Each structure stands twice: as C-alpha cells, then as structure tokens.
Chain A
C-alpha cells in the first residue's frame, strides 16, 4: 500500500509539474521560435546558441546556474526574496528546472514548424490589412501548429524525465520529489521494490509521450 500510494502521488506530481512547465515555457518558447525563424538581427546566432545551451550543458551545471541566480544571495533571488517569493527548494523550482531544460526542444521543433510555413501567406495577410499580431495568431501560428504541438510533447517528455537541474534547485524533499528524483532516492537507500514500481510508471509515461509524438509526425508526413 505504501508503494502504491507513493507511486500515485509521485507520478501525479511529476505529470502536473511537467504539464505546468510546458504551459509556462509555451509563450516564451513559441515567441523565440518565431523570432529565430522569421527575423535576422545582430546577435541572432548568440540567442540561438543560448537557447540550445541546456541541451548540451550537463543538467546539474544548468541547475547550479539557476541556483546561483535564484538563491537568496543571487541577483534574481535577492529581488524575489525582497518581494517575499520563495522559489528554491519548492515546487516552483521543479517547474522552473523542467521548463528551462525542456525549452530548447520546444524552440527547435517549433522553429522548424515556422520555417516550413510559406512566408508568402503572412505577406498576403499583411496586404489584406492584418496587424502583425493578427498575422501571427491567424496565419503563422496555425500553419506551424504541428511543429508547436510536437515541440510541446517533446518538451513535456523531457520535463517528465528531468533530474539533474531539479535535484540541484528543488532537492529531494517530500514536496518536490519527481519520478526521477524518487527513483534515485529509493535506489540510494536500497528500496529496490519501490524504485522498480516508479521505474515501470516512468517507462509507461515515456512510451506514451514518444508514441504520441511519433503519431503526430506520421500524420504530418501524410499531409
């Protein structure tokens, strides 16, 4: 009973946090993807590299950067502390770590979606009197929707499996334990049965996410 209630709690917590992280990263991620796909500006390559950095940096290193920024003595953390907002070692840190680690996947996939969309449709919409915001929401975004959805699923899957950055800024506390962190903790403390139960849940979730993403890619190829 202990295992199953923990399994239920940790799985639903991880799913909820990953979903929230996906929602949080969608507006900046989609905007960044569109800007990188449609605009050339000084520093374009630098922004492109910065966005992709969490993909290649060790996740614990990204976690350490976040910790230094958001810790009470960090430049951002100090301001948040003054405003009475606590992030480090709370569920908010879990969401943040997941969102930062998943963002590059969303941006890269959504950007490809925007690049596949023909620029001419946007131009024609402009000649029909549409404002830049209307062009984005009625033409650019709907035409890139498959890339945005696929990127969101990939990002969500990445968020679900996040470990390194999460343990650095959220720890392995009862209120911040995700699937990966719980598997690690149980293995470290010799609770193999509990770890195995969580492992099955993790595999099932990962399988479902990749399956859905592949299905979406198949539909995309058919059209």
Chain B
C-alpha cells in the first residue's frame, strides 16, 4: 500500500497536563511509542474525535478532521476512524455478530465477510462476548472497527490483554489487515519489540511532548 500523509499538529491542555504534537509524515503504520502517561491514548482519542484539542489541525489522508482556526471539528461519527481502545469495549449486551456489524450501515469498499474471514472469527459470530479470550476480543474489536469502513485504524495497546503466547499471532493479523485491506494504522505501544515489527514510522512521546520521530530502530532506541 502507498504511505498515507498524516498531519497531527495540535495542543491539548488538560489541567496540569499539556499534550503538544506537531508531526507531519507519510506512513502505512505509525507507532506512538512511549511510557505510561506519555499521552499516547489521548492522541488516539483526539484523532477519533472523543477529545477536543485546545488548538491546531488534524488531517489524515485527504480529509481534514479538525482545524481550530477554521472552526472545523468533524464529530466522532463522521470521522471514519476505526478506534479500538485498550479494553476493546465490546458492547456487552450484543453478541459477536451484532458487535461486528454495528457500524456496517456506513458501508465500505471491503465486504463484511472478508473482514470476518481475514480475522478468522467465523466460529465466534454467534457467541456472547463475555466468554471470549483476550485474543478473540481483540480480533472481534478490530473486525467491528473495520466493518465501519474507516479511513484509518487506531489501535491502543492491542497486545496488552492478550496472552504472551498469542501476541505474535495477533501481530500477524494486524499486519494482514494493513497489507490485504491497504488499511493505514496508528498503533499505540510501550513495547519496543512490537513497534519494530509493525511500524514504518515511530513517534516517541514522553510527558505529552514528542521527543523523537522517524523510522523504527533509529527512534525507539533513544
């Protein structure tokens, strides 16, 4: 897939914490890397439209999502971003199929069946969500996000709740989503090894500030 131009240029003041990011780059998979409390999740929430920056601009691909001076703030439902939070937040009152198809009404270029097949969740479709393992929950949540036809997939620590032995498999699924669906991904992690394997661009955050950015290897080792 071709790299996607991304512009994250905003400031968010939240009490004593200030998140400031001014990055413009082209990438297929961007990793936001840094310790806990660095502001990584907040960046994803801002991109998803769940938090409003104090000022700045956000553009992904050809779409401007936020521009404070121009008074533009596309609501979360119109942003076309597939956000998978760290706790995945599957709807507890709906089964797997109902979760996966929740955003299907929006319609997209990739058939729902292809997403279900790619993530190998066919056998799970009629199950309730509470009995799923960490890896299964993660795959269902990724499928739910993809079925809503996003322009970009936002993954927050997707391996955090997954058994150590299954982490490699989940990374493989994520790589398949990126390659077979040509889906740009913004991936949050504090684990260097994951970032090295999945990302082609890394932004290192610490204390709400960018302390480095560039291809993996050169940046994560700082």
Contacts and interface: CB of A to CB of B under 8 A. Distances in A.
Interface stretch (A46-54, A128-136, A160-168, A191-199): A128-136
If over half of B's interface residues share one DSSP class (helix, strand or loop), that class is named, otherwise mixed; here it is loop
A138 B50 CA distance: 19
Interface stretch (A16-24, A80-88, A118-126, A173-181): A118-126
A220 to B, nearest CB: 14
B141 to A, nearest CB: 9
A128 B103 contact: yes
B57 interface: no
B10 interface: no
B77 A129 contact: yes
Contacts, number: 55
A120 B90 CA distance: 10
Contacts of B78: 129
User: Which one of A129, A131, A142 has the greatest number of beta carbons of chain B within 10 Å?
Assistant: A129
A86 B97 CA distance: 51
Nearest to B98: A138
A127 B49 contact: yes
Given A127-B82, A128-B106, A129-B77, 5 more contacts: A124-B85, A127-B77, A129-B103, A130-B102, A143-B93
Interface of B: 48-50, 75-83, 85, 87, 89, 91-93, 102-103, 105-106, 144-145, 148
Interface of A: 118, 120-121, 123-131, 138-139, 142-143
18 contacts: A121-B91, A121-B92, A124-B91, A125-B91, A126-B76, A127-B49, A127-B50, A127-B76, A127-B77, A127-B83, A128-B77, A128-B103, A129-B105, A129-B106, A138-B102, A142-B93, A143-B92, A143-B93
